[in-house]
Amino acid sequence: MSKQYETVIGLEVHVELATKTKIFCGCSTAFGAAPNTQTCPVCTGMPGSLPVLNRQVLEYAIAVGLATNCDITRYSKFDRKNYFYPDNPQNYQISQLYLPICQNGGVEIETEQGGRKIVGIHEIHMEEDAGKLIHDEWEDCSLVDYNRSGVPLIEIVSEPDMRSAEEVIAYMEKLRQVIQYLGASDCKLQEGSMRADVNLSVREAGAETFGTRTEMKNLNSFKAITRAIAGETARQIDLIEAGERVVQETRRWDDAKGESYAMRSKEDAQDYRYFPDPDLTPIRVSEEMLQEIRERQPEFRTEKMARYREEFDIPDYDIDIITGEKPLADLFEAAVALGAQPKKVSNWIMGETLRLMKEREVDAADLRFSPEHLAKLIALTETKQINSSVAKEVFEVMFEENTDPEQYVEEKGLKTVNDEGALKKAAEEVIAANPRSVEDYRNGKEKAIGFLVGQTMKAMKGKADPGAVNRLLREFLQK
């Protein structure tokens, strides 16, 4: 590769909104129900049925627009996007083309070099999701589940402002954070409540005009996005270097194979014949409505970070991590509100919680244990009713099943034994049984005490306060 190339990336991010009901009917949006049990004439496109906009969808879309510095379109409309496919029961999707609800926004991200840049948001529009096609290989037929048909989505269309996979991830993380803070979506990539299509082109460094772009679909993790960007960048550079032409087309990323293949090119692109949906009246956003939504906007991350620095004596690093994920911040604040010491709560989150999340691949949004139980666990250690290794053991159980730590400690008999007599007896027995170590210790080998503490803890079945054991042994050995 003789020349230097620059990658230019724009993103179309679809976010499933966390409404209880669908965008145009009253059916539930709950995940995982039996096929076609959450449907009605509207979301199955039966003749004569009509859509009615769910106001919560509009409010969420506006809230996201405000949080991403967009202009809110005061007179907005829904349009029909016409195309035939069985997952789309009306054979048109209700979306927004001509007058999307939010326009001209942007969010700030940190670049790899540690600088800051604004990624522009061209528009945010509201639309309905399609049903799910299930291809039954065994019966050689396709079945459609319309439970997802009509689930509300917003599509956030960025400007082509990103130049690397790192910037793309930073941008998506920023969006996810803002949307999670708003409670507008849980933004889970794996479950598809946040999906991104990557529009990518390459050009010679310093070139003024953009190259021909492709659109990549089926990217359901940050890792897949990173790999797809690398793969597509290399593919386009290879084409250009070989004197060939990049074709404007939609490509599907196969993360297992690590390559993409063409789905459809622009030549056979469909004409969607967009036009305003006559079944839905134009949306007029009043000043009062905007004001109401503005006032309801939650404390966002920057404000939260400032407040944490002010209120809690915890390291900046902890603040950064905890506020990075709304569910962690919620957990932290709730446990503190229950009386737990901020530093202790922060330690549990930064330590065991993050460790187990990583080990067991659990998203912050999917944490099971309640702040009440975390606060109780902290209280148990604070009052020295359990020692720290027992606490970790209890936490693991709590992490999986949200077990009540008090109850669990009680049932399993894990409380620290504060019986002075029993402890003395155990210590004396350990000293008597380990003359070598006693000797070593007395000869100045500090480490030997550790072995003796361990032996004593073992004799106590772990239910002693290691600090107290240590002190007691030293006392005995001084004699």
Distance between the two ends of the chain, CA-based, in angstroms? 77
Q: How far is the CB of 270 from another protein (least distance, A)?
A: 10
User: Which of 226, 231, 156 shows the shortest CA–CA distance to 187?
Assistant: 156
Let me know the angle formed at the C-alpha of 58 by 85 and 292, rounded to the nearest 5 degrees: 175
Among 82, 111, 226, 470, indicate the residue that binds another protein (CB under 8 A). Answer: 82
Q: How many CB atoms lie within 10 A of CB 364?
A: 20
**45 part of the interface to another protein, by CB under 8 A:** yes
Asked if 131 interacts with another protein (CB under 8 A), we say no
Q: Least CB distance from residue 12 to another protein, whole Å?
A: 20
- Binder to another protein among 50, 118, 263, 337 (CB under 8 A)? 50
Q: How far is the CB of 160 from another protein (least distance, A)?
A: 22
Work out whether 76 is an interface residue with another protein (CB under 8 A): no
Answer yes or no: are the C-beta atoms of 204 and 5 closer than 8 Å.
yes
Q: How far is the CB of 77 from another protein (least distance, A)?
A: 12
For the CB of residue 52, give the shortest distance to another protein in the complex, in Å: 5
Binding of another protein at residue 281 (CB under 8 A)? yes
Sign of CA dihedral 255, 259, 260, 261: negative
Choose one: 48-56, 251-259, 295-303, 449-457; the region binding another protein (CB under 8 A). Answer: 48-56
Q: Report if residue 80 touches another protein, rule: CB under 8 A.
A: yes
* Binding span for another protein by CB under 8 A among 65-73, 90-98, 220-228, 235-243: 90-98
Q: Which of residues 425-444 bind another protein (CB under 8 A)?
A: none
CB of 250 to another protein, least distance (A): 18
Least distance (Å) between residue 398 CB and another protein: 46
The one segment of 61-69, 79-87, 239-247, 289-297 that binds another protein by CB under 8 A: 79-87
Among 90, 353, 387, 403, interactor with another protein by CB under 8 A: 90
Comparing CB distances to another protein, the nearer of 85 and 210 is 85
- Binding residue for another protein, selected from 135, 273, 412, 445, defined by CB under 8 A: 273
Residue 275 or residue 476: which is nearer to another protein going by CB?
Answer: 275
**In 10 A of CB 40, how many CB atoms?**
15
* 89 near another protein (CB under 8 A): yes
When asked if residue 91 is in the footprint of another protein (CB under 8 A), the reply is yes
* Using rule CB under 8 A, residue 53 touches another protein: yes
Does 279 contact another protein by CB under 8 A?
A: yes
Closest CA to 201 of 170, 174, 239: 239
Choices 203-211, 267-275, 310-318, 321-329; region in contact with another protein by CB under 8 A: 267-275
Question: 417 to each of 307, 376, 408, 421, 472, how far by Cα in Å?
Answer: 41, 19, 16, 10, 14
- For 347-406, the three-class secondary structure string (H helix, E strand, C coil) is HHHHHHHHHHHHHHCCCHHHCCCCHHHHHHHHHHHHCCCCCHHHHHHHHHHHHHHCCCHH
> Which residue, 234, 221, 219, 15, is CA-closest to 121?
15
**Contact flag: residue 92 with another protein (CB under 8 A):** yes
The only residue of 51, 231, 405, 466 in contact with another protein, by rule CB under 8 A: 51
HSE toward the beta carbon, residue 358, CA cutoff 13 A: 7
Q: How far is the CB of 19 from another protein (least distance, A)?
A: 17
Binding flag, residue 44, another protein (CB under 8 A): yes
Q: Is 143 in the site for another protein (CB under 8 A)?
A: no
User: Which of these segments, 7-15, 51-59, 172-180, 193-201, binds another protein (CB under 8 A)?
Assistant: 51-59
150 binds another protein (CB under 8 A): no
Binds another protein by CB under 8 A, chosen from 49, 111, 226, 470: 49
Q: Which of 197, 248, 254, 275 binds another protein (CB under 8 A)?
A: 275
Task: Establish if 37 lies at the interface with another protein (CB under 8 A).
Answer: no
Half-sphere exposure of 305 (CA within 13 A, CB side): 13
Q: Look at residues 114, 66, 78, 441 and name the one whose alpha carbon lies nearest to residue 276.
A: 78
Residues of this chain that bind another protein (CB under 8 A): 41, 44-53, 80, 82, 84, 86, 89-92, 144, 271, 273-275, 278-281
